[in-house]
Amino acid sequence: MPEQNNVQDLVSHLKILNQIGVALSAEKNGTRLLEMILQEAKHIANADGGTLYSRTEDNQLKFETMLTDTLNIHSGGTSGVPVTLSPLQIYKDNGQPNLGVVAVRAAICDQTINIPDAYTNTEFEFSGVRKFDQDMSYRSQSFLTVPMKNHEGDVIGVLQLVNALDPVTQEITVFSPSVQELVESLASQAAVAWVNQRLLEEQRHLFEAFIKLIATAIDEKSPHTGGHCQRVPELSMMLADAVSNIQIGPLKDFNMTEEDRYELKISALLHDCGKITTPEYIVEKSTKLETIFDRIEIIDTRFEVLKRDAEIALLREQLAGVDLKAIDAKLEQQVEILNEEREFIRSCNLGGEFMSNTLQERVREIAKHRWKSPTDKEEYLLSEHDEVYNLNISKGTLTPEERKIINHHIEATIKMLEALPYPKYLKHVPEYAGGHHERMDGKGYPKGLTREQMSIPARLMGIVDIFEALTARDRPYNQKPKTLSQALRILALLKVENHIDPDLFDVFIHEKVYLHYANSLDEKNKPFLSPEQIDNVDVTQLPGYNPLN
């Protein structure tokens, strides 16, 4: 009969360990995993308390999490209460191993240490334990300290349980050999789960470092798009959290897991990676005439030549006997006209939201002025197929050909991202990152997707990309960044035009995501928007805004 009971106990223990192993393997969060390891060890050993240490690269045992049921202690781990105890030094100042400390001995010697009573033990230093007991009116009696090893046999941590409790009387007792074996088995399983989780984290860190390397490369090409690549992820997560937390409206049932949020973050970081293929002179084109330099300076020189030629012509008239006073008046009038035309051309060079046909026609008329080049060849003031063509760009600073090159970046982004072998939890990265230039009415690019063909995270990226661009202080083609009210009005008009997702826009306004972003700090501890950009916003005046009540 006792033999049968032993077999039943063994099967029961194996079942418990198997269940624990499955649970540990499923946990993705490192902090929760370590806490779960300690909790499960306490449970199977029926221990009142325990501590889990991790071994650091500088040879210390760091307190990760501590639990004591009797004293209601829960620190480290997910508790939000930091462990205030200093790490245990594995080696003394003289370089000798600190073998007088139980957890250190277990780590260095790779052995389990089972102590029935710390108060009668003379092999280890327990003065700190006694002081703790005195302060807390507690008695730390039995200890079970188990090293945790990785697949290479290196000790990566130590699991220590305190005060085994009798299952019936709940009196403090010793950790039995069978319990020790169970805890050692658990520690072995837990170490595997811990190492796997660490490997996953290291892979994630490597992947993120690679992403940031790409962002840095873009930053080196253009400081402006580099800032954009850093800000879009921040704003994306703010809007994603707002949509996940909203309890009213069409999106109230939408929610995101931690893995979903991470996938969106990676997508946001990579959404413009294709710009690494875009020529710098186009990315940095801050005026219509800019290439390697702003050619407006050449045109300024031509105007000066026209003024000089006008003065020479009038001086010749003076020599021919024309009245000097009349000549001065005529010269002053011609110079005034040329100066005004020059300023007009300079203003056209800056770009803007819209250039009318009337203004474009005036550019063509001014272009007809004739001037003599340094080779004494008479030419038009502005070349038709270059300077006039650029100056008459109706919106922004890019020609249709340059705009096509810029737009190609999203195709390059998708092509680059689709070539990567993603784990399952990142499989939507190409879709999310590649959708920020699509429109809800299907008139966007590169695929011409409609709202129904796009996921919520992909639609979210479109709003974030536009709002960040409107309010950015470092865009080369923005003479002045938009204020909140200006940017939101433009965004609202885009909603009316079926450019952006209407439901996401309403959440963006209702949850004041724009204001949260405006007041948040970047990695350099500076607010994303300058104080003068943060003006009063009357949301009731935003076209198409549908309040969520």
Q: pLDDT per position in the chain (549 positions), as tens?
A: 444 444 455 556 566 666 776 666 667 778 888 888 899 899 989 999 999 999 999 999 999 999 999 999 999 988 989 988 899 999 998 999 999 999 999 999 999 999 999 999 999 999 889 999 999 999 999 999 999 998 888 999 999 999 999 989 999 999 999 999 989 988 888 888 888 888 888 888 888 888 878 777 776 666 555 578 788 999 999 999 999 999 999 999 999 998 999 999 999 988 888 877 777 777 777 788 888 778 888 888 888 888 888 888 887 777 766 677 777 788 888 889 889 999 999 998 988 778 899 999 999 999 999 888 777 788 888 988 889 999 999 888 888 888 888 778 888 888 888 888 888 889 999 999 999 999 999 999 899 999 999 999 999 999 999 999 899 876 655 457 889 999 999 999 999 999 999 999 999 999 999 999 999 988 788 889 999 999 999 999 999 999 987
CA distance 198 to 477: 45
The CATH code of domain 222-281+401-541 reads 1.10.3210.10
The pLDDT value given to residue 222 = 65
Q: How far apart are CA 483 and CA 491, in angstroms?
A: 12
Q: State the DSSP code for 450.
A: B
What are the structural domain ranges in the chain? 2-200, 222-281+401-541, 296-397
104 with 113: CB under 8 angstroms?
Answer: no
Question: 229: Cβ–Cβ under 8 A, 6 or more apart, which residues?
Answer: 215, 218, 219, 269, 271, 272
Separation between Cα atoms, residue 289 and residue 296, nearest integer Å: 6
CA atoms within 13 A on the CB side of 27: 21
| Strands 143-149 vs 113-115: parallel, antiparallel or unpaired | antiparallel
Q: Superfamily assignment of 2-200 in CATH?
A: GAF domain (3.30.450.40)
Judging by beta carbons within 10 Å of its beta carbon (0-12, 13-18, 19+), is residue 404 exposed, middle or buried?
exposed
Structural tokens at position 445:
């690019």
- The tokens for 274 are 């294709």
So what's the pLDDT on residue 474?
64
Which pTM value belongs to this model?
Answer: 0.69
Distance CA 128, CA 51 (A): 15
Alpha helices, H only, 428-496: 429-433, 456-471, 484-496
Give the span between the Cα atoms of 210 and 422, in whole angstroms. Answer: 14
Give the span between the Cα atoms of 343 and 166, in whole angstroms. Answer: 92
How many C-beta neighbours within 10 Å does residue 475 have?
18
